[in-house]
Chain A
């Protein structure tokens, strides 16, 4: 019997790849998180992590930094995306492109550029938390602008006219038409910014003069000393990610999140 070629079989290499390098590593983390150094089952890591007051206060700091970063990004990105999406300018995708281009410069070199400026104006080492938040906003802003722009572009223009025809003021139209319809974009932008703000310690190390510790840095420190604790922190982050994804109903327009289809 001749083996018939089926197009479905094309996904086998990728499926195998995912099992070995995505699923299995997640299971390995799960195992490490709930075992002690002798590989016996234990809740010890969990208890140890949450009973350390310095760890807990760092987590609170880290969450506050991420919240402020996300809020500032949203406050800047929403007007930008809104103005661009509603603009009748022909070349508006060129302006959008201008917001994405810096993102293609190497991430560490970009952070280094801000570091040089802070060094020049004397902020480096003086205002660690401000520097960290500034750097994160600078780096993650496009992640917020792109999904917002995509959702705002999708809104049917006649809805604005309808709102105006029905006597709604511009402000009312925005609050009752634009804002609710753009919420999916807000959600996906918020998740895209919040998570790296909590975990990407490159920014906090380089701009916070190593004085600002965020959750991601714990994992780095544990990687050198205690894999079980490191896996526990990673697992907690993983659970947070899954819950927030589930709450926001998955990610819409992921393919455009990093400016792929501009």
Chain B
């Protein structure tokens, strides 16, 4: 009995240790984001100075706006394209389906840099050059396959006879898809959309290869600032502490809310 408790404690300690290592850098930045120092490891008094700097820098605000808008557009377009694609594939013949699915898997398994290089060389070779459009396409290439992957399982679980029933009852095919099929796959569509948002927000490599001149996202801006440095590097870097903390808090808030909502739903259905 005592041995069992000891093993249990050991397991919990292991999980706790790994979680601590995962969160330590973020939490440390979060603490320092509220202190009036630019150097981690030194003391300082409580202050919002890093947050003030973050919100006073028009360049940083612009790149945050860029990142959010790009992620939203890419996720929206990917979700529409991917959901339609998954629906169509689901009803295609086995061979056609396998063919499209195979092509769709290429960006998933491929190294991101290969996808990025291939797109960039293609765009420049055919004379399109690089623009907001090409960057959006680049993001869609990495996001859409994941939308397809999250919609597909829902289609497989779906009761196919409902669609036929709707047609028999006089609904047009579009109406049947919209009113009968879509509500059954909507959880997959939503998780595909969320996944696309996180993929696009996170992206560095595809953005760098396909973006128009002078366009910065959080990823490219932070990378350049840490690597090249500029006249007020220390200040810029410490405003990133504030940015990291804000993003972290938003994510935590979102996770807690969606968990609570999920629990309420479960209790409601009991």
Contacts and interface: CB of A to CB of B under 8 A. Distances in A.
Interface of A: 5-15, 17-19, 21-26, 28-29, 32, 76, 79-80, 83-84, 87, 94-95, 97-99, 101-110, 112-117, 119-120, 138, 141, 191, 195-196, 198-202, 205-206, 210, 216, 219-220, 223, 227, 230-231, 234, 237-238, 241, 245, 250-251, 254-255, 258, 260-261
B87 A238 contact: no
Contact of B201 (A28, A102, A106, A261): A106
B28 interface: yes
Give the residue among A21, A138, A261 with the most B Cβ atoms within 10 A: A21
A254 B108 contact: yes
Interface string B179-213: 00000000000011011001101111100010000
Contacts of A191: 109
Contact of A199 (B112, B121, B222): B112
Given A7-B173, A112-B244, A113-B25, A219 B14 contact: no
B103 A18 contact: yes
A238 B110 CA distance: 7
Contacts of B117: 29, 219, 223, 230-231, 234
CB-CB nearest 10 A-B residue pairs: A11-B88, A14-B85, A25-B118, A10-B88, A113-B25, A7-B91, A199-B111, A255-B149, A120-B41, A25-B122
Give the residue among A10, A103, A138, A210 with the most B Cβ atoms within 10 A: A10
B81 A102 contact: no
B69 interface: no
Contacts of B19: 98-99
A195 to B, nearest CB: 5
Contact of B85 (A15, A28, A250, A255): A15
26 contacts: A5-B172, A10-B87, A11-B86, A11-B89, A12-B88, A14-B89, A14-B100, A15-B103, A19-B103, A25-B118, A28-B125, A29-B117, A29-B118, A80-B14, A105-B244, A106-B247, A108-B219, A112-B244, A113-B26, A113-B244, A117-B28, A120-B41, A206-B226, A216-B113, A238-B110, A255-B153
A38 B252 CA distance: 55
Given A261-B150, A261-B191, 7 more contacts: A13-B84, A14-B104, A17-B140, A106-B247, A107-B203, A113-B25, A241-B110
Nearest to A220: B113
Interface of B: 11, 14-15, 18-19, 21-26, 28-29, 40-41, 81-82, 84-92, 96, 100, 103-115, 117-122, 125, 137, 140-141, 144, 146, 148-150, 152-153, 172-174, 177, 191-192, 194-195, 198-199, 201-205, 209, 218-220, 222-223, 226-227, 237, 240-241, 243-244, 247-248, 251-252, 255, 259
Contacts of B137: 21
